[in-house]
């Protein structure tokens, strides 16, 4: 565990020039007394600064069923079924998504692995988002996935798609990540252990990338975000309204047929 290895953090810190940060994925143990056996852990992103200082940590919220946790765990383990990636006790879900600091750049919103595929995971729900939140969202207890409700400057997706192999999976996952950038009007930085890594602008255009199965580095400017999109302001409200209208219209037609 990185946080329990001060020497490793110090080594990392020495390699980071002043003003440079390392954003990396790592397993984080829960806060337990020293010497306590760790049977569950968090899947996390660390922001590490010069000198090995941990600037912030994000714990993954949307865990993969049967991979990172086992639904109905007590029952299914009695039947001999365990998650595909067996961590004793499974991973612990994080409690809240929040913007992370990136010295020298705008704050970013972290999304680990398949968290990037969920519409709305990068949409802050707060009063500054407009009419729909003020009149509807607050009564439905919409969550604030961006912590204090402030809009991040960019999205970060850290993932390992190696288990997909040479299939369509990595390409589909990357295309879904591009959709999130367009949906939010935010640039996306994607770091994938086995590819596809890329910087994508708010219109979904690829600024620079590394293909699947390649190793390397690239420098790319961070694109500027655009104004909040209609989806950011309205969320799934229009879709819900359309479904409700269709449902009511169908009920009306059914009632009219019965009344004849």
Domain finish residue from 39, 59, 92:
92
Asked if residue 5 and residue 131 are part of one domain, the reply reads no
Q: pTM for this one?
A: 0.74
Asked if residue 253 and residue 145 are part of one domain, the reply reads yes
Asked if residue 123 and residue 57 are part of one domain, the reply reads no
Asked if residue 173 and residue 111 are part of one domain, the reply reads yes
Could you read off the pLDDT tens digit of each residue along the chain, which spans 260 residues? 777 777 888 888 888 888 888 888 888 887 776 666 777 888 889 888 887 788 888 988 878 877 777 777 667 667 766 655 555 667 888 888 888 888 888 889 999 888 888 887 665 554 444 445 455 544 444 443 444 458 888 999 998 887 787 788 888 889 999 999 998 899 999 999 887 899 999 999 999 999 988 888 888 999 999 988 887 777 777 788 889 899 999 988 888 877 76
List C-alpha distances in Å: 124 to 109, 150, 185: 10, 7, 13
Domain finish residue from 36, 70, 92:
92
Q: Which domain holds residue 191?
A: 96-260
| Contact between 77 and 88 (Cβ < 8 Å) | no
Asked if residue 62 and residue 125 are part of one domain, the reply reads no
Asked if residue 88 and residue 100 are part of one domain, the reply reads no
Domain finish residue from 92, 112, 133:
92
Asked if residue 115 and residue 40 are part of one domain, the reply reads no
First to last CA, the chain: 72
Contact partners, residue 66, CB within 8 Å, separation at least 6: 83, 84
58, 1, 48: which is closest to 28 by C-alpha?
Answer: 1
Asked if residue 49 and residue 7 are part of one domain, the reply reads yes
Domain count, the chain: 2
Asked if residue 103 and residue 70 are part of one domain, the reply reads no
Asked if residue 133 and residue 251 are part of one domain, the reply reads yes
DSSP string of 128-151, one letter each residue? GG-HHHHHTGGGTT---TTSSSPP
Asked if residue 106 and residue 2 are part of one domain, the reply reads no
Asked if residue 134 and residue 83 are part of one domain, the reply reads no
């Amino acid at each position: 565990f990185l946080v329990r290895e001060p020497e490793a953090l110090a080594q990392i810190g020495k390699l980071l020039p002043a003003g440079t940060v390392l954003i990396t994925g790592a397993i984080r143990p829960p806060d337990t007394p020293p010497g306590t056996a760790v049977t569950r852990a968090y899947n996390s992103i660390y922001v590490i600064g010069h000198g090995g200082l941990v600037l912030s940590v994000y714990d993954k919220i949307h865990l993969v069923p049967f991979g990172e946790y086992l639904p109905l765990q007590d029952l299914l383990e009695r039947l001999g079924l365990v998650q595909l990636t067996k961590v004793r006790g499974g991973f612990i879900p994080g409690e809240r998504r929040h913007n992370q600091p990136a010295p020298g750049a705008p704050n970013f919103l972290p999304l680990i692995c398949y968290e990037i595929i969920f519409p709305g995971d990068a949409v802050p729900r707060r009063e500054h988002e407009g009419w729909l939140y003020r009149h509807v969202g607050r009564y439905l207890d919409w969550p604030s996935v961006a912590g204090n409700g402030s809009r991040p400057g960019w999205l970060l997706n850290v993932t390992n798609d190696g288990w997909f192999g040479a299939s369509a999976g990595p390409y589909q996952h990357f295309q879904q990540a591009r959709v999130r950038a367009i949906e939010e009007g935010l640039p996306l930085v994607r770091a994938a252990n086995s590819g596809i890594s890329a910087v994508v602008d708010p219109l979904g255009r690829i600024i620079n990338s590394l293909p699947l199965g390649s190793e390397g580095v690239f420098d790319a400017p961070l694109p500027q975000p655009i104004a909040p999109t209609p989806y950011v302001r309205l969320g799934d409200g229009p879709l819900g309204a359309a479904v409700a209208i269709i449902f009511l219209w169908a009920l009306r037609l059914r009632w009219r047929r019965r009344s004849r």
